Amino acid sequence: MKQNNPKVSIIIPVYNVEQYLRQCLDSVCNQTFKDIEIIIVNDCSPDNSLEIIKEYQRKDERIVLVNLKQNVGLGFARNEGMKVAKGKYITFVDSDDWIANNYVEVLYNEIESNSLDVVCAAAYIYNNIQKKIIDHKFVSADKLNRQKIKNKDCLLIPKRNCFIIPVWLKIYKKSFLLDNNIFFELKESEDNLFFFYVLLKTENIKFIDDKIYYYRINREYSLMQAINKKFNYFKLFEKLKERLIFENRYNECKRIYYQYISILTASKLEVLNLKLSELKFYFNKFRTAYYNTDFKKNCSAKNLNIILKIRLLLFCICLRLNINYAIIGKLCRNFKLIYNK
């Protein structure tokens, strides 16, 4: 039966995913934890996705359809879902992914029993070309697993084994998001900015190593495929700096800020499928915008793990000598010298 006050709201933005949507919705509707609402935001999908959503809505009264009149993009579609969410907690699922049948139960039990703002789990990667699950320690928090982290430690988190960027495979206390005005502000790289805002404001966040999310990669016509054809982080970097200044935490967080934007840029230049001349353009744009006295004074490899230390060191050497990092980065990645396994 449909709940008036469900404990958890699951928000699923949908765009052009008819081939994968049933698997996603089956996994969500069949959760062991039943006290949920399933908010599906149709972002003007041009395919048969809307008909599939309506089909499932007829079978499950917990499904709430938000049918947008114009395409707004993944992050802003999630915002529309957040506006109507009635649950005490919110979790996001992407419509080409799927979740374990105890996904909500595991996350809810952790966040409710420990009075947390956020709980972060781990995921499997599913390679859509190879048609197999890669048992990859994806979005783990390294040594932070099963730990509850306080605010003073939160900004150290992006410096560990990875940046823990995706907003999915996490559960959030809705009041925490609303009270701190945490919404999606960018059409691209929306996960990065959203979760860094979370890290800035949370007093209680916990990491668990349960792999309860299945993240699909190499899907044809996916948003990630489109993003991988360009560098789209400069707005993200400026927004993040503005927020740090607004929160009066920029001076405190300078080192982390420069580490974050440098490693994110380096990682992107390693994998972008562009000509070296185009990658050089983005490298030079970053160098012109950020490689200044403030950067040189504050950007250090302190507290980074060995993989990120190597990447940051190489990136800074390239900045100093004005050498296209993409050449060095792609070579190192091919030899698995800086690739996080």
**Segment 18-50, tens digit of pLDDT:** 999 999 999 999 999 999 999 999 999 999 999
Residue 315 confidence (pLDDT): 96
| Residues in contact with 238: Cβ distance below 8 Å, sequence separation at least 6, in sequence order | none
Residue 301 confidence (pLDDT): 84
Beta-ladder partners of 8: 36, 89
| Residues in contact with 93: Cβ distance below 8 Å, sequence separation at least 6, in sequence order | 10, 11, 12, 24, 28, 99, 168, 213
> What mean pLDDT comes out for the span 264-292?
93
Do 235 and 218 belong together in one domain?
Answer: no
> What mean pLDDT comes out for the span 282-294?
96
> What mean pLDDT comes out for the span 262-289?
92
**Segment 197-254, tens digit of pLDDT:** 888 888 888 888 899 999 998 766 554 444 555 788 899 999 989 999 998 989 988 8
159 pLDDT higher than 70: no
Domain presence at residue 268? yes
Do 122 and 219 belong together in one domain?
Answer: yes
Do 213 and 110 belong together in one domain?
Answer: yes
| 226-227-230 Cα angle (round to 5) | 105
Do 58 and 142 belong together in one domain?
Answer: yes
Which of 188, 205, 225 is a domain's end point? 225
Residue 339 confidence (pLDDT): 55
Which of 174, 192, 225 is a domain's end point? 225
Do 243 and 257 belong together in one domain?
Answer: yes
| Rounded distance between C-alpha atoms, residue 303 and residue 159, angstroms | 7
Per-chain mean pLDDT for the chain: 87
Domain presence at residue 174? yes
Q: Are 25 and 52 in contact (CB under 8 A)?
A: yes
pTM tops 0.85: yes
**DSSP letters for 310-325:** HHHHHHHHHHHHT--H
Do 38 and 160 belong together in one domain?
Answer: yes
Do 296 and 267 belong together in one domain?
Answer: yes
More confident residue, 336 or 44: 44
Do 193 and 287 belong together in one domain?
Answer: no
Q: Kindly indicate the confidence band of residue 154, based on its pLDDT and cuts at 50, 70 and 90.
A: low
Of 158-172, 227-241, 303-317, least confident by mean pLDDT is 158-172
Domain presence at residue 281? yes
Which of 192, 225, 258 is a domain's end point? 225
Do 240 and 200 belong together in one domain?
Answer: no
Residue-wise burial string across 244-263, b where 16 or more C-beta atoms lie within 10 A, e elsewhere: beeeeeeeebbbbbbbbbbb
Domain presence at residue 259? yes
Which domain CATH number covers 146? 3.90.550.10
Of 101-115, 137-151, 184-198, least confident by mean pLDDT is 137-151
Domain presence at residue 340? no
Residue 162 confidence (pLDDT): 47
Residue 29 confidence (pLDDT): 98
| Rounded distance between C-alpha atoms, residue 117 and residue 176, angstroms | 6
Q: Kindly indicate the confidence band of residue 59, based on its pLDDT and cuts at 50, 70 and 90.
A: very high
Q: How many domains does the chain have?
A: 2
Domain presence at residue 39? yes
| Residues in contact with 47: Cβ distance below 8 Å, sequence separation at least 6, in sequence order | 16, 17, 18
Domain presence at residue 341? no
Most confident of 10-24, 147-161, 213-227, 253-267: 10-24
Do 215 and 259 belong together in one domain?
Answer: no
| Rounded distance between C-alpha atoms, residue 286 and residue 261, angstroms | 9
Residue 304 belongs to what domain range?
Answer: 231-334
161 pLDDT higher than 50: no
Q: Kindly indicate the confidence band of residue 168, based on its pLDDT and cuts at 50, 70 and 90.
A: very high
Do 23 and 165 belong together in one domain?
Answer: yes
Domain presence at residue 165? yes
**Segment 76-134, tens digit of pLDDT:** 999 999 999 999 999 999 999 999 999 999 999 999 999 999 998 988 989 888 888 87
Report percent pLDDT > 90 for the chain: 59
Do 91 and 207 belong together in one domain?
Answer: yes
